[in-house]
Amino acid sequence: MTTGHDPASGQPRADAIVVGGGIAGLVVARDLGRAGRRVILLEGSPRLGGEVARHTVAGIDLDAGAESFATRDDTIQTLATQLGLGNEVVAPDPRGAWVVEADGHAFPLPKTGLLGIPGTAMAKDVIDVIGTGAALRAEVDSLLPGFVGAKEQKLGPLVRRRMGSAVLDRLVAPVVMGVHSAHPDVLDVDRVAPGLRGALLQQNSLARAVRHLREMAPGGSAVGGIRGGMVRLVDELEADLVTFGVDVRLETQVRSYDETSVTLADGSRLGASAVVIALGARDSARLDGTLGAQDPTTGLITLATLVVDDHALDAGPRGTGVLIARTGSPDVVGIRAKALTHATIKWAWLAERTDGRHVLRLSYDSPVVDRSTSDAELAGIATEDASRILGMPLAEASVEGFGRVEWDAPYRPPSGAASTSATGVIRVGGAIAGRGLSGVVKDARAKAAALLDPGAA
């Protein structure tokens, strides 16, 4: 990076302008600021953190967005340690999640899987769900050479070829749709399960590849959390930005950019030696003008959080939460939610802070729930859904708190959609690294390191 003066303002030129104060932008700004670079971070909204945020329901502080991270590598553990949160990283309750199918049948998700792909096809918890015949079909995976399916770009066809449709429809699709709001048939394997195709070739079996990736994950659990919520990462990153003298500007929307400058919504320009665009896919397309107004994939995710005072929930009737399997039938015994997290079972630290009350977080895709759904309606829908999903009636009087949060649904640009933006701009964030904190942070830190030491890249 070179320095000098900004011709527009006459001020010393920043080394880098980071556009977007989500986790990706925060991490890049911190790593550059820590190395002594002059950094300006521009965030369009009034707060930092993006999809990592906090809300308070019935006096309880909760994650409003991301509430866990993938432990397939030590990216987040390392970041947390560097931020002084190393001892605050926790594993979820081992009871695991359940699935509810169209006919109301509920079963625990097999324990040793990855995105629902079983690590052992003939395990009892797999046979219990898909039956012996389908498990035997899945076991064929262990006899096929590794290259079968390894060239498939999408997760659905890969699983179908190796393990058959029952594994895909009944185990993988519910998990993947819950996490990514999209069917495995349209999701890139390398984005949602990095390393899986390589491990398949190496291990000559998808099940063995899954076991291998799980063994590589520190702690053995597929996800981890942070005592107090993932949002503590944002708090600590924000504190570091102050320490390292990063110039953070909230409510500063960037309208356009090139490799050495950005233009703000008020028409003013800022220059820097490097411009880093740290946005999710939708924001990035919006900034580049490639987001069609009528794009059918735009949508809304609504989270409804209930704080419930009912000791019948203490036993955790459906483990840490439930994914609703809609494959083949959009109607699942009247349940409208796509997933429920029993947060006070999943996270022991949270249960310690709620005076025995339970926190249930239900998620909804539009148009099932959208902005026309009133809070009162949503609270009613969520209470009814929670009763059906948990298999026990919740009295309305037991619901002590209700919270609502809305997020843009994950956006996948139409294939072939080209970025209209300048070359030479550094790109991080969900638009490049996909959905999920581990991948986003890993990519952001690698790009920050490359900026600091271009020779090493």
Ligand X SMILES: Cc1cc2nc3c(=O)[nH]c(=O)nc-3n(C[C@H](O)[C@H](O)[C@H](O)COP(=O)(O)OP(=O)(O)OC[C@H]3O[C@@H](n4cnc5c(N)ncnc54)[C@H](O)[C@@H]3O)c2cc1C
- Residue 65 and residue 59: Cα distance in Å, rounded? 18
Q: Which among 15-23, 31-39, 381-389, 412-420 is the span making contact with ligand X, rule CB under 6 A?
A: 15-23
Nearer to ligand X, 156 or 436 (CB): 436
- Residue 363 and residue 449: Cα distance in Å, rounded? 36
69 binds ligand X (CB under 6 A): yes
- Residue 216 and residue 72: Cα distance in Å, rounded? 7
43 binds ligand X (CB under 6 A): yes
**Span 209-268, contacts to ligand X by CB under 6 A:** 253-254
Q: Which among 9-17, 131-139, 200-208, 275-283 is the span making contact with ligand X, rule CB under 6 A?
A: 275-283
**Span 358-417, contacts to ligand X by CB under 6 A:** 407
Nearer to ligand X, 101 or 443 (CB): 443
Q: Which among 96-104, 241-249, 277-285, 289-297 is the span making contact with ligand X, rule CB under 6 A?
A: 277-285
Q: Which among 20-28, 190-198, 214-222, 307-315 is the span making contact with ligand X, rule CB under 6 A?
A: 20-28
- Residue 134 and residue 152: Cα distance in Å, rounded? 22
- When binding is defined by CB under 6 A, the residue of 167, 210, 287, 313 that contacts ligand X is 287
- Residue 246 and residue 27: Cα distance in Å, rounded? 12
Nearer to ligand X, 83 or 163 (CB): 83
**Span 303-342, contacts to ligand X by CB under 6 A:** 303
Asked whether 313 and 390 are in contact (CB, 8 A), the reply is yes
Stretch (H or E) spanning 438: helix 437-452
443 binds ligand X (CB under 6 A): no
Number of separate helices (H) and strands (E) present in the chain: 16, 19
- Residue 224 and residue 222: Cα distance in Å, rounded? 7
- When binding is defined by CB under 6 A, the residue of 18, 20, 187, 379 that contacts ligand X is 20
Closest CB 335 distance from ligand X, rounded Å? 19
Closest CB 14 distance from ligand X, rounded Å? 15
Q: What is the Cα 270 distance to its own chain's centre? A: 32
Q: Which among 50-58, 266-274, 339-347, 365-373 is the span making contact with ligand X, rule CB under 6 A?
A: 50-58
Closest CB 443 distance from ligand X, rounded Å? 9
Closest CB 291 distance from ligand X, rounded Å? 11
- Residue 179 and residue 224: Cα distance in Å, rounded? 15
283 binds ligand X (CB under 6 A): yes
Residue 423 CB coordination number (10 Å): 7
Q: Which among 41-49, 125-133, 143-151, 346-354 is the span making contact with ligand X, rule CB under 6 A?
A: 41-49
Asked whether 98 and 129 are in contact (CB, 8 A), the reply is no
Q: Which among 4-12, 119-127, 159-167, 436-444 is the span making contact with ligand X, rule CB under 6 A?
A: 436-444
Closest CB 70 distance from ligand X, rounded Å? 6
CA distances from 214 to 141, 149, 153, 209, 218 (A): 18, 20, 21, 9, 8
Radius of gyration of the chain (CA): 23
Full DSSP string of 4-25: -B-TTT-SBPEEEEEE--BHHH
Asked whether 126 and 110 are in contact (CB, 8 A), the reply is yes
Nearer to ligand X, 56 or 132 (CB): 56
Per rule CB under 6 A, count of chain residues that contact ligand X: 37
Coil vs helix vs strand at 201 = helix
Residue entry with tokens 């000791």: 311
Nearer to ligand X, 70 or 325 (CB): 70
429 binds ligand X (CB under 6 A): yes
- Residue 189 and residue 200: Cα distance in Å, rounded? 12
45 binds ligand X (CB under 6 A): yes
How do 321-324 and 97-100 pair as beta strands? Answer: parallel
Q: Which residues bind ligand X (CB under 6 A)?
A: 19-25, 42-45, 50-52, 65-70, 253-254, 278-280, 283, 287, 301, 303, 407, 429-430, 435-438, 440
